[in-house]
């Protein structure tokens, strides 16, 4: 595909973009690290040189109380002008264009982070924040409107090519717009017209400060996904009001952070929310941006071609592969490292106060430390194990010029990624497997599949160095009578074993056990019970997706019993203790999914033989299906051998 629509320039006010793709706003947290500014500049430079039409920064707070946290950008002091100039200059030197997002968290701001009380249109606490916000006074409202305008002025002076007003995702402006959070009875709340006033006054203040010829983008909520909030009719009417107030481009956001409907995880079908952007696109004459779960050029081209939107916002796809547009333009889409919307290293990191990176691309956010350098001495590197750690180690070592041989006992690559891809809602892992398959071929990695490596395997004995990435071994829990033919391991089931009967007990309640339950329910109408010693289920699944996993399992009737002790298993009956009382649970099949053991036997044998060997991935630490950690270890060892 040539992508003629995607690579057609478009002019937004006085700014001409080289294509129809915006890198959407993401908070990456780099600015709070040591040497943070240089790290942030390197992060944005890397994307600017890869032909993105317009980069939108993470949210820059226009007021101290509206900050997203300690490591967030700000634009409320004149010193910020000087502070951000090196960033805009660096992006421009790479031929890029960059917009600053004007941001106020409202009731989503954490007092522990800002040291200030969060503010909101009404004193209604968010379900995801421990702080009750203070209802804004008339003066605070007027001052905040002015702060948005002055923030825009500073952004322009700092060299940003445009500003985006953050009015979506449940932040302050969105809180004023919604009847669910705006219960005011003055001129700033109540009727639809009054709830709009705050947003429209901000648009006017921004326009007054930047002038008629400067691009102003408004990120508006196309669909709140919270109860008793803005209606579809109000949303369309508000879009028209934004156009009338002087907005040049509408960027359509979906959902609030507190929404109990997934919007950006891999459970959400691709392009799920494009019809929302299309609805607004049909109602206004200014350009409209579609966003959320658009992760490849083919879909983006189709959206533009079919006139469903004028531009596409891809945020995390540029974490996964900064060169996504270059590869599309050059006809190498099979080489794109596709964003799988796992959230594990981006959103989950941010919610944990860490810097964002990417599971499938650990270089994201580490541009200054994870560079690729050609190997000075070319070696024969043997990688044993074709799971995520071994695949990444092979790719990077081969890129650097080493001759790499990859060995695996299976007939296919991927290791436990093949389990993950078979779980409903996780088929995006197929993209990661496709990417590595193409990369291994591109860089000439020799594959020895269906091969069990030993210390006596000729290619192992002849290697200059061996990287051992043999993964993990499922742990069998210490339960009397566990060695029965009606007891399977999770690996047995994922590789084809079919449980007998309808009633299934899964011994374990972590991420693997939950994935296994979803996998089984997709095959048959099983009755499933999860058991574990701990009380918190789905441990190991990130904060942004864990709730959705548990909600789905509960909707499908999965029972979860925690805080137990195992006694014995006999006659298809497991005896446990719950609250010190014995409980007998019958099932047709029992499946163990309660942890893993390191697989390091071969490592010790290779060491004994004096063969230089490195131990990485699950073979090194029992972290199960943690592909994020495995790929990171693989990329580090691939650079060091």
3-state secondary structure 523-551: HCCCEEEEECCCCCCCCCCCHHHHHHHHH
Angle between helices 232-245 and 274-281 (to 10 degrees): 50
Res. 624: pLDDT tops 50: no
Q: Are 298 and 1 in contact (CB under 8 A)?
A: yes
Q: What is the pLDDT of residue 619?
A: 57
3-state secondary structure 32-44: HCCCHHHHHHHHH
Angle between helices 388-399 and 627-640 (to 10 degrees): 30
- Give mean pLDDT, residues 535-556: 88
Q: Is 205 helix (H, G, I), strand (E, B) or coil?
A: helix
What is the residue-wise DSSP string for 35-89? THHHHHHHHHHHHHTTT-SEEEEEEEESSGGG-S-TTSEE-SSTHHHHHHHHHHH
Please report which confidence band the pLDDT of residue 545 belongs to, taking 50, 70 and 90 as the band edges. Answer: confident
Q: ∠ at Cα 561 (557, 562), nearest 5°?
A: 145
Please report which confidence band the pLDDT of residue 620 belongs to, taking 50, 70 and 90 as the band edges. Answer: low
Q: Are 469 and 390 in contact (CB under 8 A)?
A: yes
Q: What is the pLDDT of residue 622?
A: 42
Q: Measure CA 163 to chain center.
A: 24
Q: Is 581 helix (H, G, I), strand (E, B) or coil?
A: strand
CA distance 386 to 640: 19
> Is the pTM value of this prediction over 0.85?
yes
CA distance 570 to 575: 8
Q: What is the pLDDT of residue 473?
A: 80
What does the chain come to in residues? 641
CA distance 200 to 202: 5
Please report which confidence band the pLDDT of residue 623 belongs to, taking 50, 70 and 90 as the band edges. Answer: very low
What is the residue-wise DSSP string for 267-328? TSPTTTTHHHHHHHHTT-SS-EEE-SS--SHHHHHHHHHTTS-SEEEESTHHHH-TTHHHHH
CA distance 598 to 585: 31
Q: Annotated catalytic residue: which of 44, 76, 108, 171?
A: 171
* 584 DSSP β-pair partners: 575
CA distance 285 to 588: 62
Question: Using CB atoms within 10 A of its CB, is residue 373 exposed (0-12), middle (13-18) or buried (19+)?
Answer: exposed
For residue 403, give the DSSP letter.
E
Q: Are 178 and 121 in contact (CB under 8 A)?
A: no
Please report which confidence band the pLDDT of residue 1 belongs to, taking 50, 70 and 90 as the band edges. Answer: confident
CA distance 199 to 165: 9
Q: What are 300-356's pLDDT values in tens digits?
A: 999 999 999 999 999 999 999 999 999 999 999 999 999 999 999 998 888 888 899
Q: What is the pLDDT of residue 580?
A: 87
CA distance 253 to 291: 7
In what order do the strands lie in the sheet containing 559-561? Answer: 487-489, 589-592, 503-507, 527-531, 559-561
Residue-wise burial string across 521-532, b where 16 or more C-beta atoms lie within 10 A, e elsewhere: beeeebebbbbb
Task: Map out the domains of the chain with their CATH numbers.
Answer: 10-351 (3.20.20.70), 380-473+598-640 (3.40.50.720), 476-594 (3.50.50.60)
What is the residue-wise DSSP string for 328-340? HHTT-GGG-----
Provide the phi-psi class of 190: left if phi over 0, else alpha when psi is between -120 and 50, else beta: left
CA distance 276 to 263: 13
171 classed as catalytic:
yes
Q: What is the pLDDT of residue 231?
A: 97
Q: What are 213-247's pLDDT values in tens digits?
A: 999 999 999 999 999 999 999 999 999 999 999 99
Task: Identify which of 342, 427, 492 has the alpha carbon closest to the alpha carbon of residue 506.
Answer: 492
Contacts of 508 (CB under 8 A, 6+ apart): 477, 490, 530, 531, 532, 592, 593, 594, 595
Q: Measure CA 231 to chain center.
A: 28
Q: What are 560-604's pLDDT values in tens digits?
A: 999 999 999 999 999 999 988 999 999 999 999 987 777 778 888
CA distance 636 to 389: 10
Average model confidence (pLDDT) for the chain?
95
């Amino acid at each position: 595909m040539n992508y003629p629509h995607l690579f057609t320039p478009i002019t937004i006010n006085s700014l001409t973009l080289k294509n129809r793709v915006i890198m959407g706003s993401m908070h990456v947290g780099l600015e709070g690290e040591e040497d943070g500014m240089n790290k942030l500049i390197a992060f944005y430079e890397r994307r600017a040189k890869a032909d993105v039409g317009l980069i939108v920064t993470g949210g820059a707070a226009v007021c101290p109380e509206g900050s997203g946290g300690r490591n967030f950008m700000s634009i409320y002091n004149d010193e910020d002008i000087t502070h951000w100039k090196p960033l805009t200059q660096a992006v421009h030197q790479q031929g890029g264009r960059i917009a600053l997002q004007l941001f106020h968290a409202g009731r989503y701001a954490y007092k522990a982070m800002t040291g200030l009380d969060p503010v909101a249109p009404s004193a209604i606490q968010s379900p995801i924040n421990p702080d009750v916000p203070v209802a804004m006074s008339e003066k605070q409202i007027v001052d905040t409107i002015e702060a948005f305008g002055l923030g825009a002025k500073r952004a322009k002076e700092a060299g940003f090519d445009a500003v985006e007003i953050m009015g979506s995702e449940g932040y302050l402006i969105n809180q004023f717009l919604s009847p669910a959070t705006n219960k005011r009875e003055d001129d700033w709340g109540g009727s639809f017209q009054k709830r709009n006033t705050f947003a429209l006054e901000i648009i006017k203040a921004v326009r007054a400060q930047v002038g008629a010829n400067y691009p102003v983008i408004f990120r508006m909520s196309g669909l709140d996904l919270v109860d008793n909030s803005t209606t579809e009719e109000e949303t369309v009417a508000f879009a028209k009001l934004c156009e009338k107030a002087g907005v040049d481009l509408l960027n359509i956001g979906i959902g609030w952070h507190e929404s109990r409907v997934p919007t950006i995880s891999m459970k959400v079908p691709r392009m799920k929310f494009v019809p929302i952007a299309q609805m607004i696109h049909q109602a206004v004459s200014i350009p409209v941006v579609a966003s959320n779960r658009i992760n490849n050029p083919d879909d983006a081209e189709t959206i533009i071609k079919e006139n469903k939107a004028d531009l596409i916002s891809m945020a995390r796809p540029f974490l996964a592969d900064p060169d996504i547009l270059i590869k599309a333009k050059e006809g190498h889409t099979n080489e794109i490292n596709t964003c799988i919307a796992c959230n594990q290293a981006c959103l989950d990191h941010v919610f944990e106060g860490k810097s964002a990176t990417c599971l499938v691309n650990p270089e994201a956010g580490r541009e200054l430390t994870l560079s690729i350098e050609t190997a000075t001495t070319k070696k024969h590197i043997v990688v044993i194990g074709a799971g995520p750690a071994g695949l990444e180690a092979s790719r990077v070592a081969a890129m650097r010029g080493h001759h790499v041989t990859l060995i695996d006992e299976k007939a296919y690559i991927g290791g436990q990624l093949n389990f993950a891809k078979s779980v409903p809602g996780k088929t995006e892992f197929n993209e990661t497997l496709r990417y590595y398959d193409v990369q291994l071929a591109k860089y000439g990695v020799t594959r020895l599949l269906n091969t069990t490596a030993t210390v006596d395997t000729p290619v192992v004995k002849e290697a200059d160095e061996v990287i051992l990435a043999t993964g993990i071994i499922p742990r069998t829990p210490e339960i009397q009578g566990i060695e029965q033919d009606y007891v399977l391991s999770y690996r047995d089931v994922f590789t084809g074993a079919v449980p007998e009967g309808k009633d299934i007990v899964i011994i374990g309640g972590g991420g693997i056990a939950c994935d296994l339950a979803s996998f089984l329910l997709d095959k048959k109408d099983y009755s499933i019970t999860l058991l574990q010693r701990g009380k918190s289920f789905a441990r190991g699944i990130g904060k942004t997706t864990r709730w959705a996993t548990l909600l789905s399992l509960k909707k499908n009737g999965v029972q979860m019993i925690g805080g137990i002790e195992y006694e014995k298993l006999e006659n298809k009956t497991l005896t446990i203790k719950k609250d010190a009382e014995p409980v007998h649970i019958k099932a047709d099949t029992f499946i163990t999914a309660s942890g893993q053991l390191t697989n390091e036997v071969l490592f010790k044998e290779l060491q004994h033989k004096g063969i230089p060997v490195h131990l990485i991935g699950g073979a090194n630490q029992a972290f199960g299906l943690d592909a994020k950690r495995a790929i990171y270890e693989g990329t580090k060892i691939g650079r060091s051998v």
